[in-house]
Amino acid sequence: MKALARAALALVFVGLLLFLACGGKETAGARYHCPMHPTYVSDKPGDCPICGMRLVPIEEKTAPTTVPAYVCPMHPEVVSDKPDRCPKCGMKLVPKTETEQPAPATSGTPSGERKILYYRNPMDPTVTSPVPMKDSMGMDYVPVYADELEASKERAVTGYAPVSLEPEGLARSGIQTVVAEAGSLGQAIRAVGTVVPDERLLTHVHTKVSGWIEKLYVNFTGQYVKKGEPLLEIYSPELLASQEEYLRAKALAQRLASSASAEAKKAAEELAEAAAKRLLLFDVPQDFMAHLDATGTPSRTVMLRAPTAGYVLAKDIFAGKQVEPGMELYMVADLSRVWVEADFYEQEAALLKLGMPTQVTLPYRPGAVFTGPITYIYPWVNPESRTVRVRVELPNPKGELKPDMYANVEVMPAEVPGVVIPDSAVMDTGTRQIAFVEEKPGFFVPREVTVVRRAAGKALVTQGLTAGERVVVKGTFLLDSESRLRAALAAPQGGTNDQAHH
C-alpha cells in the first residue's frame, strides 16, 4: 500500500515538473479579434460589436525581448522581427513591443534609415502624436515616414496616395499590368438615316388665276415629267378676258400705225404691250402667245407645262376641280441628287465636322457603298431622342436612292494621336478619370488622365500618361481603395480626400 502511494505521488510530481517546463500559459493573457474587422481586438472571447461574428484568437509569435516585433495594424496576426510591409494589404508594420522604443519624430535618424515625421492614430488619422503611443483600444500609433509623403507629392492626385506592395503581397493581389503604347484610336460612328429629296431641287407648280381644270395630262403621283411637258389645261374667265383685251389693243395699234398722229400711234402700241405683258405675268407660255397672234382668236383654255424635269411627288387636283390663285397643283422633285439625313447622339456631335467623308449603305443592297461629304449639321438637338441631325449629299444618277428609304451612315472622325491603353485601366470617378502606373516593381502611383475616345475595349489618353509606362489593368479597384485609405491616413490634420468623388 505504501508502494502504491509512493508511485502516485511520484506521478503527480512528474506532471507538475512537465507543466512548469512547458510554461503553463494562462488563457487570461490571450487576445482575440474579429475575422472581418481585425482592427477590433479584445482580451477575452466574445462577439464583434460591428458585425456580430465570433472573435477568434490571435496567433501571436514570440519575439525576442531585445528586438522589437512589428505587426500589421490591419492584420494583427502578421508579425515580423524587422520593419517591413504586410504581405496581405501592403501596409507598413508598426512596432509591437516597447523594449526598444523608436526615436521620437523630432529626433534625427541614422544614415540609411527612414525618417519618421510623426505618428497617427490607426483608427482616426486626424489624431497625431510626435512620439509613439497607444490609442484607447491598445493599438499602436502608426509612423508616417518622410519618403512616403515625398512620393505622394510627385504627380499628386488629390485624395490618392501611392501604394507599395512587397513581392509576396503583389503575387496574392492578382494585379496585372500592360505597357501603354503610342498611337491613335479610330472609332467609326454609325447612325441610321433616311433618304429625302434635295429641297433645292423641289418645284411647286401653282396657278396665278382662278378657274377650273378642264383636262389633266399628268394624272398620278410618281409620274416622271420632262421640262416643258404639258401638265393640264385650265379654263379661266380672267385669262379669256385678258386674251380678248390683248387682241383688241393689238388691232387698235395696227389701225393707228398709219395715223398722222404720233401720239395716238404711241398710245395704241403701249396699250397692246401692256395687254401682252399681263398675259405673260399669268404664266401664259410663249408658244400660246404666238398661236394667239397667228390666229387672232382667243382660246377657251390655257395649257400649263412642267417648269422642270422630275417626279411628281404630290398632286392635289383632278379634272373639273376649281382652283384659286396660289393653290399648289403639283410638286415635282429632281432626284438626280438627294440628301441622306442621319441622327447622331449628342455626345458624338463634337466629333462631326463639315466636309467629313461618309459611307452610306442600303439594307436592300448589301455591298453597295455610296460616298459623300457632310454638308450641313443642324443647329438643334431633338428633345425626345437627344440626337443631332446631319445632312449628307449624294449623287443619284440611276435613281437607286429613293425618298424615305432607310440608309446606314458611317463616319470616321479624324484620328487623334495619344497613348492607347485597355479601357479597364481607367477608373471613372464621375468627375475625373484615374489610372494606376507601376513606376517600379510593386510601387503604384495614381495618375489623373484625360480620355478622349473609347473603342473596341481600348481608351485613347491624351494627358497623364506617356508611352512605355506600365498601367494596371486588373486589380484597379483594390488599388483604388488602398490608395484612398492611405491618403486619408497620411493626412496629419484630416486633409482632403477623394471620398466625395465616389
Q: pLDDT per residue over 446-466, tens digit each?
A: 999 998 888 778 888 989 899
Helix axes 262-281, 237-255, angle to 10 degrees: 160
Per-residue confidence (pLDDT) for residue 227, from 0 to 100: 94
- Do 490 and 163 form a contact (C-beta atoms < 8 A)? no
> According to the CATH classification, is domain 189-197+334-411 in 2.30.110.10?
no
d(CA 427, CA 421): 12
Confirm or reject CATH 2.40.40.20 for domain 173-186+416-501, answering yes or no.
no
The radius of gyration of the chain's CA atoms, rounded to the nearest angstrom, is: 47
Are the beta carbons of 369 and 360 closer than 8 angstroms?
Answer: yes
Q: What's the confidence (pLDDT) of residue 425?
A: 92
Angstrom distances, CA of residue 433 to CA of 44, 126, 176, 464: 46, 27, 19, 10
Q: How far apart are CA 303 and CA 232, in angstroms?
A: 6
Tell me the residue length of the chain: 502
Q: What pLDDT score was predicted for residue 123?
A: 66
Cell 398710245 belongs to which residue? 267
The DSSP line for 111-152 is: TTSPPEEEEE-SS-TT-EESS--B-TTSPBPEEEEHHHHHHH
Asked if 44 contacts 56 with a C-beta cutoff of 8 angstroms, the reply is no
Q: Which pTM was predicted?
A: 0.55
Contact yes or no for 239/284 (Cβ under 8 A): yes
Cβ partners under 8 Å of residue 38, min gap 6: 74, 75, 76, 77
The string over 235-260, giving b where at least 16 C-beta atoms fall within 10 Å of a residue's C-beta and e elsewhere, is ebeebbebbebbbebbebbeebeeee
Joined together, the cell numbers standing for residue 12 give: 503527480
pLDDT at 490 (0 to 100): 65
- CA geometry: angle 21, 23, 25, nearest 5 deg: 150
- Residues (pLDDT < 70) of the chain are 1-29, 33-40, 50-51, 59-68, 74-77, 96-114, 122-126, 144-156, 259-260, 490-502
Going from N- to C-terminal start, the domains of the chain cover 103-153, 173-186+416-501, 189-197+334-411, 208-326
Q: How far apart are CA 277 and CA 254, in angstroms?
A: 18
The span from the CA of 33 to the CA of 46, in Å, is 9
Helix axis angle for 262-281 and 286-295, nearest 10°, is 130
pLDDT at 389: 96
DSSP element (H, E) containing 261:
none
